[in-house]
């Protein structure tokens, strides 16, 4: 059949009670723009939800509105057919394309052919004559083998000059660097500009040090500065003791004590019969002083807390658990959210819960390290699964989502910790300004998983936060 708008003969077939055009030859494709649109079965289709590769459909969707319309399809056919020696290759249904099938005389054809050969070289397939869909999609392996991959990030390996390599490493040390697509740290043009701008500012500042306004003692200025540095810790310690003595004169004996035993005795005496509400700031000040003076400062602080809060049981918990519990207790007092019956035992309960959480986390990490060292077969399986996911999921957003899905479906706590750690590692590899956004996305994904109890979902989110923002 020849339509009124075209002299090209079309072949039709009937299915479902509708006559449809059969696309069998390259001539059919090239004349598709002349086919009356009233004879098209549909004039648009969605990018998602079809049994066609979504990434391919997304490339055809030029305006990115999630639907492909006739002009976009015709433009894709025309662009592709122009760059093939034989447009009928489009209808062959193969999952590979011969390198020689690319029309190098077409606009950009030589670049396409060169890119195809570069992909094969990066994958170690220099002798192959055809590029498969899987080859083109394996971006992780492609970029890993390419030092300069078009990302605008320059790693130290991009040059063979040792001096320039050292310079790039120095810039990475100062700026933190940026992870390239291959995962290797490098630097961007903005980081280079910032580094040299800061370097110039520092040089200018150093040059000013020779002026009379700054080097007030002339050549002796440097020696005077070093002398101040040598006694700075002792001077600050002296004034810290003065502040402690002003806070509570009964602490003077502890301030003048020479050994840990005398410190403990003095602190215990000073702590008797003091109300709970007035102790927190003084407690922290005592801790600061003691921790700077003797190795047993933390133990003394715990003992001081035990005396202050009239419950020696609190002294058996770690320092950070006591400090955090005191802060929580004091904060709840301020907003009046404590039960009416809350007393020292309530504070002890808070401390105990915090310590148990820290202990569980430490045990989890210790178990992880031991299992890794022992090359446990379960962990080897998880490592292989993680590597497989990373290879097939190059985009960080998708990779984080995949790891979170594995975490919330993990049957064991240790496996969940493994996948949360993997997700945190990917988030850390992104620019720092993206960390909070990616963490929030991961947390929302965990919250949306109702297969886990709320307590376990919250614990997973807390674990991820601790991995991304450790307090020490």
E-assigned strand segments in 16-133:
18-22, 44-46, 67-69, 96-98, 130-132
Residue 424: what pLDDT? 93
Which residue reads 């989110």 in tokens? 461
pLDDT digits (tens, 9 = 90+) for 120-158: 877 778 888 888 878 777 766 666 656 566 667 888 877
- Asked if residue 12 lies in contact with residue 3, where contact means CB atoms within 8 angstroms, the answer is no
Q: How many CB atoms lie within 10 A of CB 124?
A: 10
**CA 183 to chain centroid:** 12
Residue 180: what pLDDT? 72
Residue 294: what pLDDT? 40
Dihedral (CA of 263, 266, 270, 271) sign: positive
Residues lower than pLDDT 50 in the chain: 259-261, 264, 267-268, 271-301, 303-304, 306-310
Q: How far is CA 219 from CA 140, 207, 227, in A?
A: 58, 14, 14
**CA 451 to chain centroid:** 25
Of 180, 186, 184, 179, whose CA–CA distance to 165 is shortest? 186
């Amino acid at each position: 059949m020849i339509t009124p708008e075209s002299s090209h003969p079309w072949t039709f077939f009937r299915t479902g009670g509708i006559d449809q055009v059969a696309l069998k030859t390259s001539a059919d494709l090239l004349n598709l723009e002349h086919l009356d649109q009233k004879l098209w079965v549909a004039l648009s289709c969605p990018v998602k939800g079809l049994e066609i590769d979504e990434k391919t459909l997304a490339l055809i969707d030029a305006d990115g509105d999630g639907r492909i319309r006739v002009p976009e399809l015709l433009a894709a056919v025309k662009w592709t057919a122009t760059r093939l020696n034989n447009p009928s290759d489009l209808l062959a249904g193969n999952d590979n394309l011969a390198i020689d099938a690319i029309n190098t005389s077409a606009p950009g054809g030589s670049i396409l052919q060169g890119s195809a050969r570069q992909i094969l070289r990066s994958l170690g397939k220099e002798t192959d004559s055809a590029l498969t869909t899987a080859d083109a999609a394996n971006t992780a392996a492609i970029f890993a083998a390419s030092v300069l991959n078009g990302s605008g990030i320059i790693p130290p390996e991009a040059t063979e000059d040792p001096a320039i390599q050292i310079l790039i490493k120095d810039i990475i040390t100062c700026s933190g660097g940026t992870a390239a697509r291959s995962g290797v740290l490098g630097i961007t043009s903005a980081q280079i500009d910032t580094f040299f701008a800061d370097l110039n500012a520092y040089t200018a500042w150093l040059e000013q040090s020779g002026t009379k306004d700054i080097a007030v003692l002339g050549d002796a200025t440097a020696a005077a500065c070093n002398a101040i540095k040598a006694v700075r810790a002792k001077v600050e310690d002296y004034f810290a003791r003065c502040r402690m003595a002003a806070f509570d004169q009964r602490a003077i004996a502890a301030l003048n004590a020479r050994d840990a035993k005398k410190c403990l005795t003095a602190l215990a005496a000073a702590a008797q019969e003091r109300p709970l509400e007035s102790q927190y700031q003084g407690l922290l000040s005592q801790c600061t002083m003691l921790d700077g003076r003797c190795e047993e400062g933390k133990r003394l602080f715990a003992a001081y807390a035990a005396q202050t809060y009239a419950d020696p049981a609190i002294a058996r918990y770690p320092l950070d658990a006591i400090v955090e519990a005191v802060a929580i207790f004091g904060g709840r007092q301020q907003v009046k959210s404590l039960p009416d019956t809350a007393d020292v035992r309530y504070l002890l309960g808070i401390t105990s819960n915090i310590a148990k959480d820290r202990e569980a986390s430490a045990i989890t990490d210790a178990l992880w390290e031991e299992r890794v060292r022992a090359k446990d077969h379960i962990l080897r399986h998880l490592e292989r699964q993680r590597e497989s996911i990373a290879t097939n999921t190059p985009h960080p957003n998708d990779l984080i989502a995949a790891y979170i899905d594995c975490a919330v479906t993990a049957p064991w706590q240790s496996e969940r910790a493994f996948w949360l750690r993997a997700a945190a590692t990917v988030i850390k590899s992104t620019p720092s300004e993206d960390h909070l956004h990616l963490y929030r996305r991961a947390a929302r994904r965990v919250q949306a998983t109702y297969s886990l109890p709320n307590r376990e979902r919250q614990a997973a989110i807390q674990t991820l936060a601790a991995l991304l923002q450790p307090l020490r």
